Amino acid sequence: MNFSEVFKLSGQLCRFSPDGKYLASCVQYRLVVRDVDTLQILQLYTCLDQIQHVEWSADSRFILCAMYKRGLVQVWSLEQPEWHCKIDEGSAGLVASCWSPDGRHVLNTTEFHLRITVWSLCTKSVSYIKYPKACQQGISFSRDGRYLALAERRDCKDYVSIFVCSDWQLLRHFDADTQDLAGIEWAPNGCVLAAWDTCLEYKILLYSLDGRLLSAYCAYEWSLGIKSVAWSPSSQFLAVGSYDGKVRVLNHVTWKVITEFGHPATISDPKIVVYKEAEKSLQRALGRPACLPPRATESKYEIASVPVSLQTVKPATDRANPRVGVGTLAFSSDNYFLATRNGQCSSPTSCPLRFLQCPPRKWLLPVASPIFLRNWLFCPQKLPGHRASSAALPSAPSSPLTPSCLGRTRIQALLQLRPLYIKRVFTFLKGFKKLQNTPVWLRSLGSMGPRTRPGTLRSSQGPVPPSPALVTVIRCQYQSRELEGDLCACPHFPSSDNVPNAVWIWDIQKLRLFVVLEQLSPVRAFQWDPQQPRLAICTGGSKVYMWSPAGCVSVQVPGEGDFQVLSLCWHLNGDSLALLSKDHFCLCFLETETGVHTAFRQPDHCM
């Protein structure tokens, strides 16, 4: 391997052009375009403000720079450097900008997702698309560039619209059978559109080009659902990663699950190769390369003998969006392998809520059984000094009780099969304000309608008789979608483990686990070579890792300082790799060629 010199960078904005000839990088408000082979500066553009997004057109003739803070987009031409275009969204603001597949239209999404504005660079005409949905992946172009699929939200319902990119005419408009559409993505062949629901509902829908529902898949209920989705390059498989730590692969014929990949913390199959990164201290000898940073340590891969226990980490449940579940999926370019990164518990469980900011301790008392409310599991934690005994608990009822509606908001709830035993619980519901606590005595929780008096509970058999369990009933008044007050909560995952240091590589032909790579640090990113089954991995350190069916290698990035590789991207031909840190970037050339720049340096290989 050869490495280039280190260049300045801002916001990890470094992109190869689609034709592979140019490399664009941003430094504050400046856009630098270099030749890929020589890294000589070809063009230097100055924007009106700090660049927050950069994107090449499909034909590599134009480049787009978005400045979201000012609501501006500037377009530059490589063939005619004196030509430029400025798009100002004005008071509408700007939150996203992208190219159309033809490279002659710019799509800008205004603040609050009020509309999408389509600007034509040729005719200077403007088109508007209303009701775009603010979701994880609401826009998807087909691979051939003919169609645009857009997720929409109208009248509290989800819809999908398909537009023809040549004239932006509406081709199909249909409603999506989802509660809160999270994303859409075309299959590489452009024949099937995948749409998946929010993480609170495990549901993925497959639609044809004319809007027909081909299939709907749901693996389980009452738990966090889909976290990541990836199509295979051949469109034959659809991999769905979920919060239960499993990947389910659907086939394109029946849209049924053909296999289910789990991520166990212990590898015991002798057919699976486990590579473990081993660290050793640097020997300050005379032969030590001077290009290594002072804090760098050598590392190499060792083949571990099974059984192997992978390093697990408990998720940080006191923070929003804990890193759990299969969040990254990627197929190799030849469809032979699937790489995944897992960070979820081994079995699907509902997500209890913990209080981040609590009222006085006397309001928070333990609970023996949790309440399932929609997809959230409310389970107050046991307090110090409390003695809980389950010996006196009676047997569970034959069927769960389902409360009807509470106040003016209809919320479906499901009790666990055991009765609820609470000494006193302060519970809150999303969408309510003005909580009034009234202690009552109960034996089992039935239905509480809007006309229930404070202090009483009623079930299908009538008033609930007293019981030696004191519960706090909350009288709520509907306010808005968000909770207002001093209380907040976050998901709590009991007995859940992350495996952030491992990359799992699956053999798609044999539908089994092929290789596991365990790093010393958590994996930040990985990406497949676009030309061959070769995987590049970075962990936020000063090394880059490569895997192929022939083996794996750990390579130290040379440099005077500590170059921390936070992200990476492959060249179209697969012969070079851009390594991105917080403020710098460099190129890694995998094959030595004649005429390489003299600044390229030989790295220290650690096999």
Question: Mind giving me the DSSP string for 242-283?
Answer: ETTSEEEEEETTT--EEEEEE--SEE--TTSEEEEEEEEPPP
pLDDT digits (tens, 9 = 90+) for 400-431: 333 333 332 222 232 232 233 232 233 333 33
For residue 296, the model assigns a pLDDT of 59
The pLDDT-based confidence of 187 (bands split at 50, 70, 90) is very high
Mean pLDDT of 473-477: 30
Q: Is the pLDDT assigned to residue 327 strictly greater than 80?
A: yes
Token duo for residue 290: 């001077």
Q: Which of 41-55, 179-193, 332-346 has the lowest mean pLDDT?
A: 332-346
Q: Is the pLDDT assigned to residue 493 strictly greater than 50?
A: no
Q: Is the pLDDT assigned to residue 362 strictly greater than 50?
A: no
Q: What is the mean pLDDT of the chain?
A: 77
Token duo for residue 120: 């034509």
The pLDDT-based confidence of 281 (bands split at 50, 70, 90) is low
For residue 323, the model assigns a pLDDT of 76
CA 457, 460, 466, 467 dihedral sign is negative
CA distance 474 to 471: 10
| Residue partners of 606: CB distance under 8 A and separation at least 6 | 298, 299, 300, 543, 553, 554, 555, 556
